[in-house]
Chains A and B, each alone.
Chain A
Amino acid sequence: MSIHSIELDPRQIRRRKQFNTFFSAMIMTLAVLSVIPLFLILTHIVKEGFASLKPEFFTSLPKPVGETGGGIANALVGTFMLIGIATILALPVGIGAGLFLAEHPKSKIGELVRLSVEVLQGIPSIVIGLIVYMICVKPIGNFSALSGGIALAIMMLPFIVRTTEETLRLIPTTLKEASLALGAPYYHTILQVILPAGLNGIITGVLVSIARIAGETAPLLFTAFGNPYMNANPLKPIASLPHLIFTYAISPYDDWHALAWGAAIILLGFILMLNFGARMIASKFGMDHSA
């Protein structure tokens, strides 16, 4: 780290300055260049998919192979249902565990739980699909929206635990002490004082985690399975936007490609909306979740 090369020869100084300018320009250029793929993707999707976005696209079912038209209503409903199931399953456990970690940050169990959460977060999504096939699909004897939801819930869980813990730790202990000093019981303090104080942070975390799972395809391949019809029974197979995009993308039919591009616009729009919502809440309450 020694800075021995500092000399006062004017030519050398000029050279150093020139090199510095060059380096800054390079950093700027590389950074801006990295954004280009995103533009290409967005323009491509909009160009290819925009024509599909007619009213019937949202309300009708896919047509049999080789017939034009049709829509993705089944996948829209399916994606909402899968997200709903995943959230219902992951939210209570995630918040409970996050609470525990925030309340007992240094305990032995806490360390173990924190390690488990980190390991869970690192499991590739396709592996989660394999596991859920073994522990849900096979024993139940049916592909189902429920197993898809469980797979997504496992993916969501670590995010919810972490955001809950991080948010609750930011809440000043004085708040808790004041509540306890007033004679409020512990559970009352947590549920009525601490959780509401961290609510915005938790909602932000939940929105971000929904945005992460909304586009997941790999864990759904062997669990939710897909369905060309409308389905709202959690014990039956179900379609979803990402799964539909995958199946139609690799098909040879131009009609199906058009549907898939349209579905991509909707999926991306939905995810951006969630992220935007999360950012709004975060910035409104002065939190930074960008990292």
Chain B
Amino acid sequence: MTTVKTFNQRDQLFKNTIMLNAIGIVVLLAVIFGTIVYSSKDSIAAFGLGFITSKTWDPIGMTFGALPFIAGTLITSILALLISLPFSLAIALLLGEYSPKGKITGFVRSMIELMAGVPSVIFGFWGLYYLVPKIRDLEMWLMQIPFLENAGILPYGVGILAASLILAVMIIPYSSSVAREVITMVPRALKEAAYSLGSTRFEVISKIVLPYARSGIIAGVLLSFGRAIGETMAVTMLIGNANELPQNIFAPANTMASVIANEFAEAQAGVHMSSLFEIGLLLFLISVVVNLIGRVVIHSMNKQGGQS
């Protein structure tokens, strides 16, 4: 009798323990969110909504506005998405639709997996010493074209273009894996019906697969965007750290993540530090919202796929 009781007690203890662990994660998230909101309060009180629309970032005058960083983040991330999209889609179609088992496919798959493992700081390091000199050459060449003389291009090398190119390379593994996932969810019956009517593979892809997977691919783009905006090290090393609105894609800029990495260790307690926290808060909110929307869409596709 007693042993059974102890078993029951232990069972209860065990159940409580794992539940506590699970709830611990919720608490952790609450602490993270609470800390970042609390630390941003000085800046929120001082600048209000103007924080998002002001472009002055002046640590001496103690006036802070995040517009240059929001702009820098959006421009680099969107540019990176545009650059990477054709490649990601091609990889996803190759792995998910063309030949999931072929030799080239296997090779591409392993290489992409390898690429996903390369740390951000190594991408940045390589970018700084391989990519940047090449971009600088390009800029010097562009500057000689009479038509572009006054376009304000300077041979910095580092800048939005460098950061976007590296970001594009970095998100290819991620976006292609999401896109592949949704492409393989397209019901086989639909595709086979189209083939049996004499469609070519291109027609099946353009008229069946892509339309069917469209929302999933858009979700994948969103998820990749969520990745790109939070990327810190490689961008910090390549973007040129200028706290102003960029004039063209060759100009140096700063993203929300890179300005935190650059200035946090030295920011004076008070409005400066609080402003960096508010940038962190904005970054947090944007990433979380983008991420959740992306996941909800993919989940719903998953369910849909399961039913048909």
Binding site for B on A (CB under 8 A): 1, 3, 5-6, 16-17, 19-20, 23-24, 26-35, 37-38, 40-41, 44-45, 48, 92-97, 99-101, 103, 109-110, 112-113, 116-131, 133-135, 154, 157, 161, 185-188, 190-191, 211, 214-218, 221-222, 242, 245-246, 249-250, 257, 260-261, 264, 267-268, 271-272, 275, 290-291
Contacts and interface: CB of A to CB of B under 8 A. Distances in A.
7 contacts: A5-B203, A27-B94, A130-B277, A187-B10, A187-B15, A221-B265, A268-B118
Residue among B26, B115, B197, B231 with most chain A CB within 10 A: B26
B26 A113 contact: yes
Interface stretch (B63-71, B121-129, B140-148, B244-252): B121-129
Interface size class of B (residues with CB under 8 A): 35 or more
A5 B197 CA distance: 11
Interface of B: 7-8, 10-11, 13-15, 17-26, 28-29, 31-32, 35-36, 39, 86-88, 90-91, 93-94, 98, 104, 107-109, 111-115, 117-126, 128-130, 169, 172, 176-177, 180-181, 194, 197-203, 205, 207-208, 211-212, 226, 229-233, 237, 257, 260-261, 264-265, 276-277, 280, 283-284, 287-288, 290-292, 295
A113 B25 contact: yes
Given A125-B230, A267-B122, A291-B181, A131 B25 contact: no
Given A126-B280, A135-B35, A218-B232, A264 B181 contact: no
Contact of A130 (B13, B176, B264): B264
Contacts of B277: 130
Contacts of B232: 124-126, 217-218
Given A110-B22, A130-B36, A3 B203 contact: yes
3 nearest A-B pairs in the assembled complex, by CB-CB distance: A215-B119, A124-B230, A96-B21
A114 B211 CA distance: 30
A218 B177 contact: no
A264 B112 contact: no
Contacts of A246: 121, 124-125, 233, 237
A34 B165 CA distance: 12
B194 A3 contact: yes
A216 to B, nearest CB: 7
Contact of A113 (B22, B114, B261): B22
A250 B261 CA distance: 14
A186 B126 contact: no
A290 B199 CA distance: 31
Contacts of A92: 21
The A contact surface, by secondary structure, is helix
B284 A123 contact: yes
A186 B9 CA distance: 11
A34 B90 contact: yes
B202 A20 contact: yes
A113 B35 contact: no
At the interface, is chain B mostly helix, strand, loop or mixed?
A: helix
Contacts of A133: 264
* Residue with the highest number of chain A CB atoms closer than 10 Å, among B87, B176, B211: B87
B288 A245 contact: no
A97 B264 CA distance: 33
B123 A41 contact: yes
A19 B111 CA distance: 28
A31 B89 CA distance: 9
B117 A30 contact: no
A99 B18 contact: yes
Given A116-B26, A185-B7, A291-B180, A218 B90 contact: no
Contacts of A41: 118, 122-123, 126, 130
B32 A221 contact: no
Given A1-B208, A17-B200, A267-B119, A190 B35 contact: no
Given A130-B264, A291-B177, A123 B113 contact: no
B21 A131 contact: no
Contact of B229 (A1, A103, A124, A272): A124
B27 to A, nearest CB: 9
A100 B21 contact: yes
A190 B270 CA distance: 50
A250 to B, nearest CB: 7
A286 B133 CA distance: 46
A19 B202 contact: yes
Nearest to A130: B280
B211 to A, nearest CB: 6
Nearest to B200: A20
Given A126-B280, A157-B25, A221-B265, 16 more contacts: A3-B203, A6-B198, A20-B202, A41-B130, A113-B22, A118-B291, A119-B291, A123-B288, A126-B260, A126-B283, A127-B230, A131-B36, A246-B121, A246-B233, A250-B128, A272-B117
